[in-house]
Amino acid sequence: MSASPTEPMNHRQVLEALSGLLLGLFVAVLSSTVVSNALPRILNDLHGGQSAYTWVITAALLSLTASTPIWGKLSDLVSKKLLVQAALVIYIASSALAGLSQNPGELIACRVLQGIGAGGVTALGQICLASMVSPRERGRYSGYFGAVFALATIGGPLIGGVIVDTSWLGWRWCFYVGIPFSLIAIAVLQRTLKLPVTKRKVKIDYLGSVLIAAAVSLLMIWISLAGQNYAWVSWQTFVMVPGGLLLAALFVLVESRAAEPIIPLGLFRYRTVTLAAIASALVGIGMYGATTFLSQYFQLAKEKSPTMAGIMTLPMILGLAISSTVAGRLITKYGKWKAYLVAGTFLLAVGFGLLGTVRDNTSYGLLALYMAATGLGLGLTMQNLVLAVQNTVPRHELGAASSAVTFFRTMGGAMGVTALGALLSNRVTHYLTDNLTAAHINPAGAAAGGGEIPDLHKLPKPLVPLVTDAFGHGVAEVFLVAAPFALLAFLVVLLIREVPLRSGHEEPAAQPEPQLVKG
C-alpha cells in the first residue's frame, strides 16, 4: 500500500521502494564506468584514435545532458515509475546494439541512445526520492545513492577490465553485462515503487531540447577538432563558436516563451538554484575528467592491465563512498549541508592539483593519497548540490529543479571531457614527439599520440618508455587544467546561503532566500 505525500513512508517502505531505483542507478553508472578501462582495448580493436576515445564518452554525456530536463519535466506530468521503466528499456536496447558495433561510428551512435536511457534513470531516481521523503530525511537516503554510485564506479572498471582480459568473453560483453540488471530493476520497480500520478496534459518542449543539444554539440565538435583538423583561429572557429552561442541564445528565447519549458527560467530566481547550477557545471568538468582519463593513465603510463587499472582507482572510489554516506547521515541528523559543499569542492580542487603533478614513475602511495582526496571531494559535493536545490523550490517544481542541476553537471562534464580529451591528445603528441626526437627516432615513422590508441605490448621495447612518459605527462596536464574549475566551484558554493532542511513535506516560504532574478 502506498503512502501519500502527507503520510510519510517509514524506513522499511522507503528502502523497498528505493531498491529498484538504486539498482537502476547502478546500471546507469555502470554504462559509463564499465567501458572506461576497456576503451583502449575496444578502440584498438575498432581502429579508433584519441578523438574516438573522447567521443565514446561524450556522446553518452551529451545525450544524457539533453534528455535529463525532458525526463525531469515529464516526471512533473506523468507516472514516474513508468518513466524509469521506459528509461531502462531504452538502456537495454541500446546496450544490445552497442555490443554489436563494428566501428567507432556505430559505437558512438549507440552510446547516444545509452545516454538517453541512463539520463532518465539518474535524474528520476533523485526525483522519486524527493517525492517519498522530506528534505530533512533526504540526506540520509542521498547517502545511499552516493554509495551505490561508488559501488557502480568500483564495480564498473573492475567488471570491464575482467571482461576484456577474459578471452572467451571479449569487450562486447561490457555492454551486454548491464542488461540482466536492467531487467531485474524493471521487475523490482513494478512491485515496490508506488507514487501518486499527476494527471495533466503533457507538453514537451522539443524545440528547446533540439536547440540546447545542437548548441552543446556544435561547441563540442569545435573543441575536439580545433588544433588538429584546423587551426584555433580559422574560419571554422568563426562559424562554430558564434553559431553555438547563437543556438544557446535561441534556446533561452524559446524557454522564456514555452508553455512547458524543459528548464523553466523561473527556477533561476532562486539564488541557490542559480549558484548550484554553476557549481554543478564546474564540478562536472572535473568529475568526468577524473573517471575518463585515470584509466588511460594506468594503462598507458603505468602499463597496467584493464583489470589492474580498475583496482588501482579504489582509493578514489572508496573516498567517494565513505564521504557521501557519512555526510548524508550527518546532514539528516543536524539539518545542515553547506559545510559539506565547501569542504567537498575544496578537496576536489586540492585532489586535482595534486594529480596534476603525477608522472609515469609516480609512486602508487602518492597516487592513492591524491585519488582519495579527489574521491572525498566528489562524495561531499555531487548529491548535496541536488539536495540544496530540492530544499529551496516548491514541491511542484522538484522534478524540473533536480534535473536542472543534473543537466548542468553533465553538460559541464560533456564539454569538459571533450576539451580535456583534445588537450590530452595535443599534449601527448607534443611530449611523444619531443621524446622521439631526443632519442634520435624520426617522429613521422613512429606511432604518435594523436593517432590510434597505442597497444604497448605491440610496440618495439625502446618506444614503450617514451610513450608511457608522454601519457603520464599529458594526463597530469589534464588534471592541472581541471583544478581551477574545482576552485571556481569552491568560490561559488561559498556564496550559497544555507537554509536548514525542512523536516516535513511543507512548501518553502514564498521568498526563501535573496533572489538573483526578479519574477
Q: Walk along the chain (519 residues) and give the pLDDT tens digit of each residue.
A: 344 444 556 667 777 778 888 888 888 888 777 887 788 788 878 877 767 777 787 788 778 777 777 787 777 777 788 888 899 999 999 999 998 888 888 999 999 999 899 888 887 887 787 777 766 676 667 667 767 776 776 667 778 878 888 878 888 888 898 898 889 888 888 877 776 665 556 567 778 878 887 887 788 778 767 766 777 788 888 999 999 999 989 998 998 888 777 778 888 888 888 999 999 989 888 777 666 788 788 888 898 887 788 788 889 888 888 888 888 788 878 878 889 999 999 999 999 999 999 998 999 999 999 999 998 998 888 778 888 887 788 777 776 777 778 778 877 877 787 788 878 888 888 898 888 888 878 766 554 444 566 777 778 888 888 889 999 999 999 999 999 999 999 999 999 888 776 655 555 544 445 444 443
pLDDT of 212: 80
Can you give the length of the chain in residues?
519
Helical (H) or strand (E) element with 154: helix 135-165
Helix ranges (H only) for 297-337 are 306-312, 314-334
Backbone torsions φ then ψ of 340, nearest 5 degrees: -70, -35
Q: Report d(CA 461, CA 430) in Å as an integer.
A: 20
CA distances from 144 to 48, 120, 147, 237 (A): 37, 19, 5, 44
Which set of grid coordinates corresponds to residue 489? 566551484
Q: Report d(CA 185, CA 92) in Å as an integer.
A: 11
Q: Quickly count: other Cβ atoms within 10 Å of residue 271's Cβ.
A: 18
CA-closest candidate to residue 293, choices 453, 130, 417: 417
Which set of grid coordinates corresponds to residue 280? 554543478
Q: 427-446: b or e for each residue (b if 16 or more CB lie within 10 Å)?
A: bbbbbbbebbeeeeeeeeeb
Cβ pair 84, 216 in contact under 8 A: no
pLDDT of 477: 92
Which set of grid coordinates corresponds to residue 405? 542541476
Which set of grid coordinates corresponds to residue 391? 530544499
Question: Three-state DSSP class for 505?
Answer: coil
Cβ pair 139, 325 in contact under 8 A: no
Question: Three-state DSSP class for 168?
Answer: coil
Q: Report d(CA 405, CA 415) in Å as an integer.
A: 16
pLDDT of 512: 46
CATH fold of 11-193+260-494: Growth Hormone; Chain: A; (1.20.1250)
Residue type, 190: Q
pLDDT of 158: 76
Q: Report d(CA 326, CA 21) in Å as an integer.
A: 21
The full set of domain ranges for the chain reads 11-193+260-494, 205-259
Tracing cell 561510428 back to the chain, one arrives at 105
Global pTM value: 0.75
Question: Three-state DSSP class for 226?
Answer: strand
Q: Report d(CA 426, CA 421) in Å as an integer.
A: 9
Question: Three-state DSSP class for 272?
Answer: helix
Tracing cell 545516454 back to the chain, one arrives at 115
pLDDT of 146: 67
User: Crossing angle for the helix pair 11-36 and 80-98, nearest 10 degrees?
Assistant: 20
